[in-house]
Structure 1
Amino acid sequence: MRISVDGPSVVFAMVAVVAHGSAFARSEACHPTSEKQISALFDRWNDSLKTGDPQKVVANYAPNSILLPTVSNKPRLTADEKLDYFKHFLENKPVGTIDFRDIMIECNTAIDSGLYTFKFADGSVVKARYTFTYAWNGHKWLITSHHSSKMPEGN
């Protein structure tokens, strides 16, 4: 859908913004959080990996989230697609550790980006970049997007 604005309608929109504050003002209350609480969300996700149960891993993701996984070329949009990915990913018992991170917190959203390492039961190791974005759903923090990619220069 394309909306065209010109002439008097633009002036009206500008007056409305000035009169009522930012056009993007939020009416929701911001859930208080800290870097420590956001970093603990990775631990929650990693602990769900350790269970070996893909349902528990997928429970960390918001219904309309996206997973761009480490060892698959296919974006995972639905819970079923995420379950399929984690069913195979969990077969070799991955355990992740954070090597470097940067956390940014906004009103009811947070971004945790950095580098992590996965160690697997067969002794293999995958170093990767990651970004988790989170949103507060009124009850708990959920992953809204998760991007992970192997380091391009190897280990």
Structure 2
Amino acid sequence: MIAELQCVVLDCADPARLAGFYHCLLGGEVDRPDRRWALGDGWATLHTAAGPVLAFQRVADHRPPRWGHPVHPQQFHLDFGVPDLDAAQTQAVAAGAVVLDDGAGTGRPWRIYADPAGHPFCLVQHGDGEAAVGQASPRSA
């Protein structure tokens, strides 16, 4: 092993706002002091309740990805396991998510959203209704 993953960093225009959005989705602690980085106006972090750390970095000319757009394509996406898609969607939208593809009529166990900065993410419900965090969904958003 050469290195360990410290965090996943998302570029955005407003780090505090995006950290707050993901805090609503995932719980945890926003801007917890950590020896690995300095906190400031251009950087926010979320130590999630499940353990992984998300970081949010201010980029002056941030151009959000646009779902299905060839000039502004997604660069990555996050999958979040949930026990109930409908309930999770209601809460995510209330927190600021935008529904990109609700899978209406498909019967598939995932839906695609954008966070307030435009980054796509999926809510995924696995077979028995339990959130299977860490398991990849059978598609690429």
TM-score by length of 1: 0.27
Q: Compare CA radii of gyration and give the structure with the larger one.
A: 1
More helix as a share of residues: 1
Greater fraction strand: 1
Name the TM-score, length of structure 2 as normaliser. Answer: 0.28
